[in-house]
Chains A and B, each alone.
Chain A
Amino acid sequence: MNHHRTLISYLLFTALFSFLILVTTGCSKDENNGESSKADNTLYLFNWTYYTPESVIEAFEAEYGVNVVLDYFASNEDMFAKLKGGGSGYDVVFPSQDYAEIMIREKMVIPLDHAKLDNLRYISPLVREKATYDPDMAYAVPYYLGASGIAVMKDSLEEYPRDWSIFSDSRFRNRMSMLDDMREVMGAALAHLGYSVNSLNPDELEAATRLINEQWKPNIVKFDAEGFAKAFSSGEFSVVHGYGEAVFEEIEEERWDEVDFFLPGEGGPMYLDSMMIPVTAKHVDLAHLFINFIHRPEMYAQFLDRFRFPSTVHTEAEQYRTTEPIYSGDALAAYELKMDLGENLSLYDELWQTIRYDD
């Protein structure tokens, strides 16, 4: 009996104790939101993981005497579903081009005050041209322009095509993966066939689907957007379609020579992540300060160094960087931004189902 009673008191104690912690932390958080002095000092970012180097955040906090709180999302879709459902309180979000366009159209973001953003002069005019949905940066300030590519473990074969047709190469059968991403895979197939990655032509889409189902899918092990880098690093996969930073993040620098990462020459889909301020933001001034701060050339160079990215959106940062990029940004000239498909999304979705749902 005694034994039981102690257990009960443990249980009750835990309940009471943790509830107290919850209430106190919860309340103090609410106070933060209500109390103006403290609240004005905290900037809430909703970002991809690791996408802003800690050194930059710390420098920003130190310079302006503020506090930065980061929350993360793993895909544009998750982030969008959350904001659409009513999620609020974030001051700066980092969507890619298609969702940037949607959020502008859905009036989910506020127009930016350019008087507070003098570093926008460093944004490459070429990138602004590509961002057809907002070339004047009225709502969205470009953060990074990049694309998925192909990583090949060099020791696996001496000769291989350095373009999308590598996925038709049966010598790599069952040692390859492609991203589990409708637009990336369809876009790659469309680009390989010489069509636009945003094609709405049913014949072109049909041809792309056939290419994937008949030529590529038999050779790949799986569609993988999460584990491909780990599997590539451990030698399970020899050829992966994915993001360079993810691949190199998993592999120690000493082994980087063993990896050939390239952007296929025939082009493909690319993305442009931007910084935007949601209408529900509470710290608009601070958000402007932050966006401007990121594009200080020294700061932006730290971002490039962290991921070994090529400098694709910033005209000045290149000279401050201390590392070599993992891939060349030149290839991006042949690439095309994935744009929002609107109603035509279902066109792609139906075809993608035949790729993804069937055995």
Chain B
Amino acid sequence: MNSVSFDTRTRHGATFSNVVLILVILFLFLPLFVIITYSFSASKSMEFTTFSLKWYTQLFFDSDELWSAFLNSAVIALSSAAVATVIASGAAIGIMWYRFKGRQYIQILSFLPMVLPEVIIGISMLIFFSAVRLPLGLITIFIAHTTFNLPFVYLLVTARLDEFDISTVEAARDLGANEAQSLVKVVIPSILPGMLSGFLMAVTMSLEDFVITFFVSGPGSTTLPLYVYSMIRYGVSPVINALSFVLILSIMLIAFAMRRFLKTIAASS
């Protein structure tokens, strides 16, 4: 498939789009540069006065609450994104390739959580959870986040499957592969970019969400956005800028380490 034709692709015609891509990435990183610059400024406000590491000192030595909020966010984001990716990818395969009772029902239901305003989802889930006496906490946040992540992953994987050539699966089955084998060897590899994008998007949405989380969180389950948004009245502390930089730096390091790791694995096999 396309992974084979990787090297044979012609490059011409990609120049304009490459320029746009670079510009858009610069556009996306512009606020980040601002945040990083301010994280090294002594000033509390959004301006650069003198160089200072005080926000980093505060971040590492005097921000227990911030770190516990961050931990909560990370756990929720990863778990809800992973669960949503698995459930929604399954649903995308089922709905695209099979005809069964309730197919249309699931199809309509699958994008509704995306449409309903956040505050309404938040309130209604809160009422629901308290009606079924599920104590508010990390579990309820996890459920809520998985719910609003499902449509995004589902649609991304569906868009990918839409262009997928079903005959490859049929070929695999003709060669004697059973359902599980053809799923793991043929289907998943080819929809993987969709699943990966969906997973990344779900992590992003979960790390971002404030409104829904506010309503379904319980005592002691403050997430990072809850923590940051609650500062709105008194001014958001630059410690958050410092945290952002540390976060981005570590993500980049992890990605780099994984790249090396992946290469070694590929080489050894």
Contact = CB atoms under 8 A, between A and B. Distances in A.
A249 B214 contact: no
B108 to A, nearest CB: 27
Interface residues of A, number: 58
A50 B233 CA distance: 10
B135 A30 contact: yes
A105 interface: no
Contacts of B127: 85-86
A229 B78 CA distance: 35
Given A26-B138, A71-B219, A71-B220, A250 B79 contact: no
A71 B214 CA distance: 10
Given A234-B45, A250-B45, A11 B234 contact: no
Interface in B163-213: 184-185, 188-189, 192, 195-196, 199
A90 B219 contact: yes
Interface string A1-30: 111111110111011011101100110011
Contact of B195 (A11, A44, A81, A229): A11
Contacts of B199: 11
A136 interface: no
B214 A78 contact: yes
B232 A15 contact: no
User: How extensive is the interface on chain B, given as a class?
Assistant: 35 or more
A338 to B, nearest CB: 16
Contacts of A245: 234
Given A8-B188, A26-B138, A72-B227, A230 B215 contact: no
B43 interface: yes
Contacts of B229: 74
A86 B130 contact: yes
B245 to A, nearest CB: 19
Closest 4 CB pairs of A and B: A86-B130, A15-B82, A72-B230, A18-B79
18 contacts: A1-B185, A4-B188, A11-B196, A14-B82, A15-B78, A15-B82, A19-B82, A21-B79, A22-B79, A44-B220, A75-B233, A85-B127, A86-B127, A87-B136, A87-B218, A89-B135, A233-B44, A252-B49
Interface of B: 42-47, 49, 65, 75-76, 78-79, 82-83, 85-86, 123, 126-127, 129-131, 135-139, 142, 184-185, 188-189, 192, 195-196, 199, 214-215, 217-222, 226-227, 229-235, 258, 262, 265-266, 269
